[in-house]
Amino acid sequence: MGKPSTEAYFTEILLCKNELNDTLNNLCRWMKDEHVDKNLVTQLDSAFIRKDPYGVVLIIAPWNYPIHLFLVPLIGAIAAGNCVIIKPSEITKNTEKLVAETLTCYLDSDCFAVVTAGVEETTKLLENKFDYIFFTGSPTVGRIIMEAAAKHLTPVTLELGGKNPCYVSDTCDVQNVARRVAWGRFFNAGQTCLAPDYLLCSLEMQEKLMPALRAAIVEFFGSNPKESPDFGRIVGDKQFRRIQALLRSGRVAIGGQTDEKERYIAPTVLADVLPSDPAMQEEVFGPILPIVVVANMDEAIDFINARPRPLAIYAFSCDCKVVNQVLERTSSGGFCGNDTLMHVTLSSLPFGGIGNSGLGKYHGKFTFDTFTHQRGCLHRNMGLETLNSVRYPPYTPQKQGLMTATLEIKRKGMCTLL
């Protein structure tokens, strides 16, 4: 992939270490029994939530961040006490080999295993019964995973993707928007499920953004991004040809150069893209930023809401009310105002999709909770049987009254309309 070393360090090392240290710092607290409120009948008893492991977990990782996207869920699965089978992506073969050869040096092979397999072998793997499946990849494969899991009633987390919209209002700092959007779109050569997939703005803002985006691309990657050590390549030939075909959308305003031998696609901005164009029919997952012109914020929100719910929505404006309107009137896995990608750096925030973009969440304590069965427990006193007699037959109105008095939850702050 020709991934720049800084991007590799940031995503594959630093964020993984952050997840690990956050877990080590807090695990003693996370795994403790969580005592809960009790009713009058159980005041002398112990009521708590026990944090149990699910059992044997399957983690299927993708190729775009091949270390981060297996190691972060693995940390939570281990912390929760599970055994794990890890299936790295066969597309990134060097990383797959590295994981298979080295992981057994650090983890007990009786509890943790790495499976190197292609599509056919993975299909066979999914015929086995697991206690939990964690999958990161496309919605198409996510449906296959969910169907296989359903045969065994296995719970799943599906970290998928989708077309993440980015709305830019007419009241914003154009240069700052351009730099933050360009960074998020072209990071890892656009092969990020969380990247802004397309931009929504007015025709006037599109004209303002073009020189600013061009300047940001030159600032980041120089006048010839092909020679930049800070711009990566597309992972494979199949993916290259798919992304290259999307260049036939709208008009190429910036970039557009390709080199199939190197699997290079220049940082590209497409202007005047129509909703019917190829780039708007699928997740781009490459260094191409389509711009769709809308009249105003309301039209942008309607455009977003008319499509499957994305993994993230981005909104840029100097007016906080505009950002909040986009947040309140849309639905997505996550949201970031006036920046891109940065919400993923906070382990205190859940990361996950909704609807077509995924099911479940993780990062920090959310990862531990994902791989934990929260077991409701009540440990009662063996004596004091007289207190229980009101629930036993034969039933009487008096017993029913006493049961109601001891078990009823009353609403607080009720008012009476006169």
Spans of all domains in the chain? 5-160+360-374, 165-356
* Res 310: pLDDT: 97
From CA 123, how far away is CA 17, in angstroms rounded? 32
Output the pLDDT for position 417. Answer: 67
> What does the pLDDT look like over 217-275, one tens digit per residue?
999 999 999 999 999 999 999 999 999 999 999 999 999 999 999 999 999 999 999 99
Fill in the DSSP letter of residue 309: P
**Residue 362: other Cβ atoms inside 10 A:** 25
Query: In three state form, how does the secondary structure of 142-156 look?
Result: HHHHHHHHHCCCCCE
Ranges of the chain whose pLDDT falls below 50: none
Token pair recorded at residue 225: 């991004």
Q: How far is it, in rounded angstroms, from Cα 82 to Cα 120?
A: 26
The structure tokens listed for 304 are: 């977003």
Judge whether 364 and 209 are in contact, CB under 8 Å.
Answer: no
Identify the architecture of domain 165-356 in CATH: 3-Layer(aba) Sandwich (3.40)
**Residue 110 burial (10 A CB sphere; 0-12, 13-18, 19+):** exposed
pTM of the shown model: 0.94
Whole-number pLDDT of residue 205? 97
Which of 187, 139, 161, 218 lies closest to 1 in space, CA to CA? 187
Rounded-to-integer distance, Cα 249 and Cα 290, Å: 8
**Which has the closest alpha carbon to 363: 189, 166, 159?**
159
**Structure confidence at residue 349 (pLDDT):** 97
> What separation in angstroms does the CA of 145 have from each of 60, 64, 391?
10, 19, 46
Q: Supply the DSSP string of 81-142, one letter for each residue.
A: T-EEEEE--SSSHHHHHHHHHHHHHHS-TTTEEE----HHHHHHHTTS--SEEEEES-HHHH
The pLDDT, as a whole number, for residue 81 is 97
The predicted structure's pLDDT at residue 63: 93
Q: What is the C-alpha radius of gyration for the chain, rounded to an integer number of angstroms?
A: 26
Q: What does the DSSP 8-state code read for residue 280?
A: G
Q: Note whether 326 and 350 are within 8 A (CB).
A: no
Strands 268-271 and 251-254: antiparallel
Q: How far apart (Å, rounded) are the C-alpha atoms in residues 54 and 33? A: 16
Catalytic residues: 159, 193
Asked if 5-160+360-374 and 165-356 have one fold, the answer is no
pLDDT for res 416 = 63
Q: What is the pLDDT of residue 415?
A: 66
Q: Which residue has the tokens 């992304």?
A: 243
Q: Using alpha carbons, select from 186, 185, 131, 140 the residue that is nearest to residue 160.
A: 140
Q: How far is CA 214 from the centre of its chain?
A: 30
Strands 372-379 and 46-53: antiparallel
pLDDT score, position 118:
85
Please enumerate in sequence order all residues whose Cβ is within 8 A of that of 69, keeping only pairs 6 or more positions apart, or say none.
61, 62, 136, 159
Residue 161: predicted pLDDT: 87
Sign of the four-CA dihedral 82, 85, 90, 93: positive
Q: What is the CATH number of domain 5-160+360-374?
A: 3.40.605.10
What tokens were used for 291? 């711009």
Measure Cα distances from 120 to 90, 123, 129, 140 in Å.
12, 5, 17, 16
